[in-house]
């Protein structure tokens, strides 16, 4: 993309059809359910983080990401642990950022790459290539052009009248083309598209689009390459819309009862709402009060949960570590 140009893309019939289909599917999706079902949000957030990191070569499993989220000790390479902790912190901050503000992007990169780069939150000072399948598939523009290119891209994003599904996909592609950072560009591009989509429909904050991109990783790189060769990011837009549709349909079909174990579900619930009573927890998790009491007793005995203040009027504290 040249600084004075709009991003080059063609709106194909396939893209129009996908946008209409996704909009219809999102309309059917019970967004209120995602807000209410803490377990489903937690599972999807874990899938999102694991998928996005896996694309970059991180080998941590969803189970290990869950353990890190719960503050448990995980035996893994230090860099991979740092990547996971950073991604958890970055996705937790999604509600705080404005997807149209370049300064927020830099702040997000600082969190995503903290402890992994010498200068996180700053644009690169040297050349960089985009890797895919072990080979360089794209040489990014010179570093001296990055600030102007990114400023131009954010100007376009703030002015465009394109549908958010299209605009977010265009931004994602152009961001990867520019490759503004020395590292972390892939996970930042996916994070920012999630942020942009969540401002259109809040449910997207909890939809695991990244995990489906990981499942189609070869297609992800192929769409990037085809768009670059054609000087038209329509192939990438089409690819991302397919993954978004898959995520919406998949979550829409997820049963209310998830495989998350009762103790983990209790910890996830109380981490966000420490003042809940046992009857409220039972209702929230669709479990009997006796089952909740047994699980809480086990959590307290294992040191993962403790009561602060009196039994009536007090609160719960989830112990991390």
The structure tokens 């007793």 sit at 297
The pLDDT tens digits of the residues spanning 96-143 come to 999 999 999 999 999 999 999 999 999 999 998 776 666 776 789 999
User: What pLDDT does 304 receive?
Assistant: 83
Tell me what the pLDDT averaged over the chain comes to: 88
Whether residues 79 and 187 share a domain: the answer is yes
Kindly report the backbone phi and psi dihedral angles of residue 97, in degrees, each rounded to the nearest multiple of 5, phi listed first: -105, 150
Domain span at residue 311?
A: 262-318
Are 210 and 51 in contact by the 8 Å Cβ rule? The answer is yes
Are 314 and 270 in contact by the 8 Å Cβ rule? The answer is no
Kindly report the backbone phi and psi dihedral angles of residue 132, in degrees, each rounded to the nearest multiple of 5, phi listed first: -155, 120
The structure tokens 């370049």 sit at 102
238 within a domain of the structure (yes/no): yes
pLDDT at 223 over 60: yes
Domain containing residue 210: CATH number: 1.10.3290.10
105 within a domain of the structure (yes/no): yes
Whether residues 155 and 241 share a domain: the answer is yes
Between 302 and 126, the more confident residue is 126
Helix (H) or strand (E) holding 308: strand 305-308
The pLDDT tens digits of the residues spanning 257-300 come to 444 567 878 887 787 788 888 888 887 777 788 888 888 888 88
CB atoms within 10 A of CB 148: 13
Query: Cα separation of 40 and 254, whole Å?
Result: 9
Whether residues 269 and 249 share a domain: the answer is no
Please say whether the dihedral angle defined by the alpha carbons of residues 45, 50, 56 and 58, taken in this order, is positive or negative.
Answer: positive
Whether residues 71 and 204 share a domain: the answer is yes
pTM over 0.85: no
Whether residues 82 and 119 share a domain: the answer is yes
Structural tokens at position 20: 């209409």
The count of structural domains within the chain is 2
The pLDDT tens digits of the residues spanning 186-196 come to 999 999 999 99
């Amino acid at each position: 993309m040249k600084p004075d140009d709009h991003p080059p893309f063609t709106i194909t019939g396939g893209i129009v059809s996908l946008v209409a289909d996704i909009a219809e599917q999102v309309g059917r999706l019970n967004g209120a359910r995602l807000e209410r079902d803490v377990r489903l949000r937690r599972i999807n957030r874990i899938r999102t983080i694991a998928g996005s990191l896996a694309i970059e070569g991180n080998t941590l499993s969803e189970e290990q990401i869950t353990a890190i989220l719960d503050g448990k000790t995980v035996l893994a390479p230090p860099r991979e642990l740092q990547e996971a902790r950073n991604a958890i912190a970055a996705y937790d901050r999604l509600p705080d950022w404005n997807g149209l503000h370049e300064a927020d992007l830099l702040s997000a990169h600082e969190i995503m790459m903290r402890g992994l780069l010498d200068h996180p939150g700053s644009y690169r000072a040297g050349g960089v290539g985009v890797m895919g399948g072990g080979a360089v598939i794209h040489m990014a523009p010179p570093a001296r052009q990055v600030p102007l290119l990114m400023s131009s891209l954010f100007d376009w994003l703030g002015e465009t009248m394109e549908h958010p599904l299209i605009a977010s996909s265009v931004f994602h592609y152009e961001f990867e083309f520019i490759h503004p950072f020395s590292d972390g560009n892939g996970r930042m591009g996916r994070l920012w598209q999630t942020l942009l989509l969540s401002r259109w429909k809040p449910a997207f904050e909890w939809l695991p689009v990244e995990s489906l991109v990981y499942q189609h990783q070869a297609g992800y790189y192929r769409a990037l390459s085809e768009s670059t060769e054609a000087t038209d990011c329509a192939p990438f837009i089409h690819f991302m819309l397919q993954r978004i549709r898959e995520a919406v349909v998949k979550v829409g079909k997820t049963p209310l009862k998830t495989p998350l174990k009762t103790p983990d579900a209790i910890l996830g619930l109380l981490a966000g709402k420490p003042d809940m009573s046992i009857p409220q927890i039972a209702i929230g998790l669709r479990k009997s009060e006796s089952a909740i009491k047994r699980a809480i007793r086990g959590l307290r005995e294992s040191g993962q949960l403790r009561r602060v203040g009196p039994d009536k009027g007090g609160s719960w504290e989830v112990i991390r570590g």
